[in-house]
Structure 1
Amino acid sequence: MSIIIKPIITEKITKEGETFNRFGFVVDKRANKIQIKNAVEAAFGVNVVAVNTMNYRADRSVKYTKSGLISGKTSAYKKAVVQVQEGETIDFYTNI
């Protein structure tokens, strides 16, 4: 099972990476914190101090248009914020 799906590169996560050594990833929904820690350490060669995970539910929306109701939804995903040791960093632009 591939645990790390893709990195999250947003303004907030990038700022946390510069100040607190925290980096965000979209991970497999079935992965636990220990599996995420081992996958990040193996992929990027850093020592992980802490892993925080969040499950995001699928958002459903309904739009009322001239042609009728249009319903849609976004997919659910799991996000992991990984804190690495002081002095270490992950560079997404050269490693991936």
Structure 2
Amino acid sequence: MHLYEVLRRPLITEKSTVLQAESKYAFEVAVEANKPQIKRAVEKSFNVTVTGVRVMTMPGKRQRVRGREVSPRTWKKAIVTVKSGDKIGFFEGV
């Protein structure tokens, strides 16, 4: 998997904004991506030193559409911890 396919989008939520004070940033990543790939992608994309990666698989919530159950896609969330002093400029000012 190429590095540009690993990171899908940043997750900007109330909870992830609070985590920024602890040098932690949240991203939606590819379901096939693993921790070393996520670490390399963040380090290359944002020129920071990653000290830790936590990954969670978020199941799609089931919904009913015209009497049938539909399950949206499952996605993966990664919380990346960077070295203290390093910042990801994309999240600044949020």
Give the TM-score of the pair, scaled to structure 2: 0.84
Which moved further from structure 2: 69-78 or 35-44? 69-78
Partners of 2:32 and 2:91 lie apart in 1 by 27
Aligned to 2:49: 47
2:51 partner amino acid: V
After TM superposition, the runs of 4+ consecutive aligned structure 1 residues lying more than 4 A away are none
- Measured on the aligned residues, the alpha-carbon RMSD in Å equals 1.8
| Structure 1: unaligned runs, 5 residues or longer | none
User: Following TM superposition, by how much is the alpha carbon of 1:72 offset from its aligned partner in structure 2, in angstroms?
Assistant: 3.4
Aligned residue runs from structure 1 range 46-65, under 5 A: 46-62=48-64
1:11 Cα deviation (Å)?
A: 1.0
- 1:7-63 Cα distance to aligned partner (Å, 9 max, x none): 00111101111x210000000111110010000000000000000000011221226
Q: Which residue of 2 aligns with 1:13?
A: 16
1:33 pairs with 29, 32, 35, which one? 35
Q: Which has the higher strand share?
A: 1
Partner of 2:90: 92
TM-score by structure 1 length? 0.83
Equivalent residue pairs, number: 89
